[in-house]
Amino acid sequence: MSNNAAVCKDGGEIGRSQALQAIAARATPHSDMNPILLKPEGNTRSQVIVNGKPLASANGKPIEAADYFERRQQLWPMVTSALDRLREQYDLVIIEGAGSPAELNLADVEMVNMSVARYCQSPVLLVGDIERGGVFAQLLGTLWLLPPEDRALVRGLIVNKFRGDLRLFDRGVEILEMRGNVPVLGVLPWIDALRLPEEDAVALMNSHGADDFCFSDYDNEKRLDIAVIHLPHIANFDDFDPLANDARVKLRYVRHAKDLGCPDVLILPGTKNTLGDLAWLRESGFEAKILEFAQSQKSRIVGICGGYQMMGQAIHNPHEMESNSTYSDGLKLLDVETTFHPGKQTCQVEATILESDFLPRLRSVTLTGYEIHSGQTTTSSPWLKRLHVSGIEVPGIEQSQSRMDGSHSRDGRFWGCYLHGLFANDSFRNGWLESLGANNMAHASQEQSTQDVLEQSLEKLASHFENYIDFDQIEAMLQSDPVSLQHENKAT
C-alpha cells in the first residue's frame, strides 16, 4: 500500500519500493514484482492496481476496502501466477512482506506475508526495527503468535537500525536466540545519510516544518528555500529527492499554512486525490496563502501532475472519478483546464523542451521521466513535446494534444507539467536552479548526478549488509532448505 509508485517499460504501475529493489538487484522493474498495489484515496477507499493496471468496479470508480477483501479469491491466483513467472526467470526471488505477519484480524484474508511464503514453502527472515523500540516484543511476539506451520518457515532473525555500540546488544542476541529458538543472522547499525526514495508518505511525518523555516548557511552562502506543500494524499514525492540532495537547495515540506513563509519557490506536488486535496487547500487556508504569495513579483510556483492540475482554471469530473463533485475551480495560476476520464495514463516518456521564452537556456534539452495520472489537461502554452512514449495512453485524446505537455505563465514565474522524475534530469535541474540564482551559491561545482547519488547509497547499503549479516548462514539456508527456489531453466 503506497501512493509512491513507478511506471515500468510496458506501462505497468508498481510501488516505488519494489522498483528500487529491482534496480538494486540489477533487474528490470516489472509488474510481476508487485502484482497488487493499493493506492489510498480516502479513509476507506483505494485504487487497486492489479498486474500493473487499475482494477475498477462496475461503474469505473475506486474500490472500497471491504470490497477488496471480498475479492481475495479472485486476486490470489494473480499473486501466485506472478510469483511463478518470476521463479521461472530468476535463480533467486526475494519476497518482501508488508506490515506484520502476525496481524491476527487479517490472517484469513491477507496476501502479503506468510500466505505467499506458505504457498512456495519459502524460508523466512524476520526483521525487527529497533529504532521504533520494543524489538523483543516485535520479534518474539511475532514468533509466538504465528501458527506452527508458519513459525516453522522462519529460519532467522535480523535486528535493524541499531544506534550506538553493537556490543551493548550482545545479550539481546542471546535472549532472542534462546527464547525464539531461531538464530540471529546479524544486527544492522543505523546508516547516516542514506539517500534513497521513501516507500510512502509516513516518512514525511518526521520531516521538519516551522522549526526548520530559517535558512541554513554553507560557507556563509544562503541556499534556495523551496517549499513543498504536504498534501493529505501526496504522491510520488520522491520527485523532489534530487532537490533535497542538492547542496544549493533547502527543501522543506509544509503541512500548515502558517509555516509557509516566503520561499524562493513553492511546489504543489502530485496527489492521489486532486479534488480532495484542492478542497483541503481551501479549508486549511493554504489557497489564500498561495494566492497572496503569487502577488509578489519574486514568487515562483511549480506544479507537478496533480499540483499542475490544481494550478489551472478548472477541473471537470463528469464521471465522479475522485469524488461526488463534478466541478471545481482551480487556483487560476495557469491557463489550463483538466477533465477526468475513467482511463488512466501510465507511461515512460522522453520529451524535449520547446523553443520559447520560457527557460531559454534549456531549449531543446531532452528529458526522461514518467506519467501516471487520471485526467487530461488542455493547454495553450505547452513547453514540453513528447518524443517517445512507452506504456499506456488514454484512448480518445486528440493525438496532437497528447504529444504536448505543460503550461507556463507569460512571465515564466508559474509553470507545471505531468512529467514525474523531472528534477532527476541533471541538465534540467541545474539549468533551472541556475536561472534562480543558484550558480552564485556555495558548492555549486560539487553537485553529483542523481544516478551517482542513488548508486552510492545502494553500494553503501549493500556493503553495510554484507559486513554485519551472516551470509554463510543465508547461503547454507538456500542450499539445504527443501524449497523450490531453483529451476532447470535459469536466468541471471
pLDDT above 90 for 107: no
CATH fold match for the domains 5-194+458-480 and 201-447: yes
Residue 112 has pLDDT above 90, yes or no: no
Segment 261-274 shows an average pLDDT of 96
Residue 184 above 50 pLDDT?
Answer: yes
Q: How do residues 121-166 score in pLDDT, each as one tens digit?
A: 999 999 999 998 999 999 999 999 999 999 999 999 999 999 999 9
Residue 489 pLDDT > 50, yes or no? no
Least confident span in 77-91, 296-310, 434-448: 434-448
- Percent of the chain beyond pLDDT 70? 88
Other beta carbons less than 10 A from residue 33's beta carbon: 24
Residues 469-483: tens digit of each pLDDT: 999 999 998 887 554
**Measuring CA to CA, which residue among 382, 365, 366, 451 is closest to residue 418?**
382
CATH fold of 5-194+458-480 reads Rossmann fold (3.40.50)
Average pLDDT, the chain: 88
pLDDT tens per residue across span 362-372: 999 999 999 99
pLDDT of residue 323: 78
Q: Which of 30, 233, 305, 408 is catalytic?
A: 305
Backbone angles phi and psi of 413, in degrees to 5: -75, -30
The more confidently predicted of residues 43 and 21 is 21
Does position 436 have pLDDT exceeding 50, yes or no?
A: yes
Predicted local confidence at residue 481, as pLDDT:
58
Catalytic-residue membership of 487:
no
User: What number is the average pLDDT over the span 303-331?
Assistant: 93
Whole-number Cα distances in Å, 236 to 15, 230, 305: 10, 12, 10
Mean of pLDDT values over 427-435 = 94
**Identity at 385, one-letter amino acid code:** K
Q: For 348-359, write each residue's pLDDT tens digit.
A: 999 999 987 888
Q: Which pLDDT value is given to residue 447?
A: 65
**In the prediction, which pLDDT does 296 show?**
95
pLDDT band with cut points at 50, 70 and 90 for residue 440: low
**Number of neighbouring beta carbons within 10 Å of residue 411:** 9
| CA distance linking residue 195 with residue 206, whole number of Å | 15
pLDDT, tens digit, for every residue of 316-329? 999 888 778 899 99
pLDDT of residue 485: 41
CATH 3.40.50.880 fits 201-447, yes or no: yes
Instruction: Kindly state the average pLDDT of the residues 30-50.
Output: 88
Question: Can you give the residue ranges of every domain in the chain?
Answer: 5-194+458-480, 201-447
Residue 81 vs residue 214, higher pLDDT: 81
Output phi, psi for 314, to 5 deg. Answer: -160, 155
pLDDT for 310 beyond 90: yes
Q: Is 262 a catalytic residue?
A: no
Residues 188, 468 contacting (CB under 8 angstroms)? yes
Confidence of residue 116 (pLDDT cuts 50, 70, 90): very high
pTM recorded for the entire structure: 0.88
C-alpha cell at 15: 510501488
252 near 216, Cβ under 8 Å? no
Average pLDDT over residues 257-275: 96
pLDDT recorded at residue 397: 54
Cell numbers linked to 473 = 548462514
